[in-house]
Amino acid sequence: MTVENILKTSFRLDAFLFEFISNFLLIFLILILMLIKKIEKIKNLKLFYATSFSLVFIISVVTTWAISRYYSKFSAEPFVSPSHVILFSILKATPFKSDTLYFYDQGIFYILSSQFLASIFAFLAYILVFYNLKKWSNYKSKFENIHFYEIIEQKNDSNPIKFLVKELIFIVFYLITIPFIGQINAIYYNWDHFKALLITFSFLFFILFISSFFGFFTFHLFFSLIVIFCNLMAILKEKRENIITKKEVNKKITFISINGLISIILTFVLPIIVATIIWQIGKSQGVIFNF
């Protein structure tokens, strides 16, 4: 089952389930890591996040591969991120000699639905783990006065322009590297899964580590929506406890809402732009990409 086959069909149960597994593992493990960071008070957060998030990405892909090989006798190719789905729905559908851009709209909706549902279930699973750990006597002191939504730190920067520029730079850098590593011709370049995973980890670590100095970026839309929800819950708590004024509450909510809207728009627009540029390069230069 190739990426093209998944996108050309209106629904495939196996593709839906494997996409669900990869996204569930990605979001759930990231949330657990953020919880560990909160209760253990890890100091070097930039290195911790860049390393652990990159490893979680690899784990989610490898686990999905392993499960698919066992149950379906083939290696699934999970998209993992919504932006990957948009990007390849164009590149896989459009011949590079074509004068028109095409779009596989048959499979995009059920794949995005799978990712969305997986993110919700991962968040619910995290909440379940949080409250179960909170009941254990060994962890009661560490969980004292901590709510499940407080594992994510609020951003203080309220400048939408800075946020937009940051997102543009890192999402584009992400899109022109990570999605294509797994698409390299394995036979022609003497490539294998181990090399692909190693290069993916290296690039992802680099991108995440550099972006950590600017508050990271939207590498997964549905995870970013979870972050927005948690930040809103934390703001409402501060309001109830009179920690911040009503004016500050409105300012923070406005900032979160604008940045959330920017993240949503860029997740769908930037993959289209990147795919269009790649198609134009292939068409004008006579280059045939192996996607």
Most confident residue range from 12-16, 44-48, 122-126, 255-259: 122-126
Q: Is residue 290 part of a domain?
A: no
Q: Is residue 202 part of a domain?
A: yes
Most confident residue range from 24-38, 40-54, 137-151, 193-207: 24-38
Q: Is residue 220 part of a domain?
A: yes
pTM for this one? 0.90
Q: Is residue 164 part of a domain?
A: yes
pLDDT (tens digit, 9 = 90+) per residue, 209-225?
999 888 888 889 999 99
Q: What amino acid occupies position 134?
A: K
- Per-residue pLDDT, 203: 94
In total, how many domains does the chain have? 1
Span 227-249, mean pLDDT? Answer: 86
Per-residue pLDDT at 291 exceeds 60: no
Structural domain of 68: 3-285
- Per-residue pLDDT, 44: 80
CA distances from 103 to 107, 134, 253, 272, 288 (A): 10, 48, 36, 10, 18
Per DSSP, the residues of 23-51 read: HHHHHHHHHHHHHHHHHHT-S-HHHHHHH
Q: Is residue 102 part of a domain?
A: yes
Instruction: Compute the residue count for the chain.
Output: 291
Q: What percent of the chain has pLDDT over 70?
A: 89
How many whole angstroms separate alpha carbon 191 and alpha carbon 112? 29
Q: Is residue 291 part of a domain?
A: no
Q: What is the CATH number of the domain that holds 196?
A: 1.20.1080.10
Q: Is residue 15 part of a domain?
A: yes
Token code pair at residue 103: 């779009």
How many whole angstroms separate alpha carbon 59 and alpha carbon 52? 10
pLDDT, the chain, mean: 85
